Amino acid sequence: MDDAASAVKSQDISSGKRPRDDPGPSRKTNLKQPKIVNWLAVPTRNSFDPLSSGDTENDMETDDVNENNASPDTAVKKEPTPPPIFVHGVETMTPLVALLEAIAKDSYSMKALRDNTVKVQSKNSDAYRKIHKALKDKGTDMHSYQLKSDKGFRVVVRGLHHSTKHEDIKGAFSTLGHNVKHVHNVKHRGSNQPLPLFFVEFAGNENNKKVYDVTRLLHCVVQVEPPRPKKDIVQCTRCQRFGHTKSFCHRAPRCVKCLGGHSTSECTRKTRDEGVRCVNCEGYHPANYRGCDAARRLNPRRNVDLRQRIRNERNLHRELSTNVNNTQRRPDLLYSDVVGASGGNDEARLNPVGNTSNVPHVPQSAQNSEMDEFLLRLIQQDFHLAQQELLPDRQGFSEVLK
């Protein structure tokens, strides 16, 4: 063994190479180069170091307990406020208060308005339904609005032929998982011709907005859109007043064509004539005319742009008329005025430098801009230069005549 080791050592020394160490099974060669970071290190600090791990665990357990003990009422959405009920013609409050106390005690509030009108505000939808039903059964002169919870989801469907049956439309939407309440075909306002448009009202549901994704219905390419908001104030077709609709109106009916206290369907006027009267302003037009003074007073924003445009046009017309009155018309220049053939004697024509009567002149009031003044000076200079060039020839011709 000693001889073999000495022989290996003698071979390494004779070769002149450094002996290589045995890495062994536990040593591994790291071939990946270390990443050189040239940026300065940013000092960081954990602001939660003072907190112990035990406190954190206790807090997490407390949060879990609070979530489990949370009342289910907090997760329920808040009920929207019911609409008000407007009772008209209230001479004494005693009968109304007695009726409300018997139906919904401590579940309402009242406010007296002008023209013997009382506003009744319910605190919840149940009280609203009870009060509305009791006043309706009594035949009270009143009007109200629909509960938000009862309102449907209304859309416009384009692309269906106007002859499509409403039942087919309801069935097609039902197969898609939508509950249809009402379908109505839209007609042209002027010609009363049916249009390829349908108003479709759905029952309140969480998937109502998915109806906008429908592109084909009854083998037709359709487009579902939200209805356009109305800019005009709503008008009741029962009492012809503004601010509510006939669905929740319980006031006395009034005709749209005359001053009578009856519904429009019971009116004896069946043809168009000049005797139409408005029940709101007593003008000679139907009560649903949007140019009515009563409608304009209630909806002043409708004609803001129109009034502003009329005012601007009047101001512009006034400015133009003022400029026209202050500006004189520029006289037309004739060829005889330029060459000096009209008026004056021979000496004046032969001495144009001193003669300025034939030079075209424009009144000062007509020189409305710097461009007009510049053109005027240019014409005068050209006229003088032309006269100076013709002066020797004219003098020689006059000597020959002498």
Concatenated DSSP letters of 270-283: -S--TT---TTT--
Q: What is the pLDDT of residue 353?
A: 45
Q: Are residues 111 and 189 in the same domain?
A: no
Please name which of 231, 240, 229, 238 lies closest in space to residue 292, comparing C-alpha atoms.
240
Q: Are residues 95 and 133 in the same domain?
A: yes
d(CA 278, CA 260): 10
Residue ending a domain, among 96, 130, 146, is 146
- Beta-carbon contacts of residue 111 (< 8 Å; ≥ 6 apart): 118, 119, 121
**Could you give the number of structural domains in the chain?**
3
Q: What is the pLDDT of residue 378?
A: 77
> Along the chain (402 residues), what's the average pLDDT of each consecutive run of 10 residues?
51 55 53 55 61 51 51 62 93 91 90 92 93 92 90 92 94 92 90 92 88 92 90 88 92 91 87 83 89 81 60 71 56 55 47 48 51 76 70 53 48
52-73 b/e with 16+ CB inside 10 Å = b? eeeeeeeeeeeeeeeeeeeeee
Q: What is the pLDDT of residue 161?
A: 94
260-272 b/e with 16+ CB inside 10 Å = b? beeebeeeeeeee
Q: Are residues 109 and 95 in the same domain?
A: yes
Q: What is the pLDDT of residue 365?
A: 46
Q: Exposed/middle/buried for 48, CB within 10 Å: 0-12, 13-18, 19+?
A: exposed
- Beta-carbon contacts of residue 24 (< 8 Å; ≥ 6 apart): none
Cβ atoms of 242 and 232 within 8 Å: the answer is: no
Residue ranges making up the domain that contains 168: 152-225
Residue ending a domain, among 169, 194, 225, is 225
CA distances from 371 to 6, 338, 375 (A): 118, 20, 6
The overall longest dimension of the chain from CA atoms, in Å, is 158
Residue 169 is part of a domain; what is its CATH number? Answer: 3.30.70.330
Helix or strand or coil: residue 157?
strand
Please name which of 237, 239, 212 lies closest in space to residue 223, comparing C-alpha atoms.
212
Q: What is the pLDDT of residue 290?
A: 83
Cβ atoms of 174 and 162 within 8 Å: the answer is: no
Q: What is the pLDDT of residue 207?
A: 87
Global confidence as pTM: 0.53
Q: Are residues 159 and 141 in the same domain?
A: no
CA 247 to chain centroid: 28
Indicate whether 60 belongs to any domain.
Answer: no
Q: Are residues 166 and 106 in the same domain?
A: no
Indicate whether 395 belongs to any domain.
Answer: no
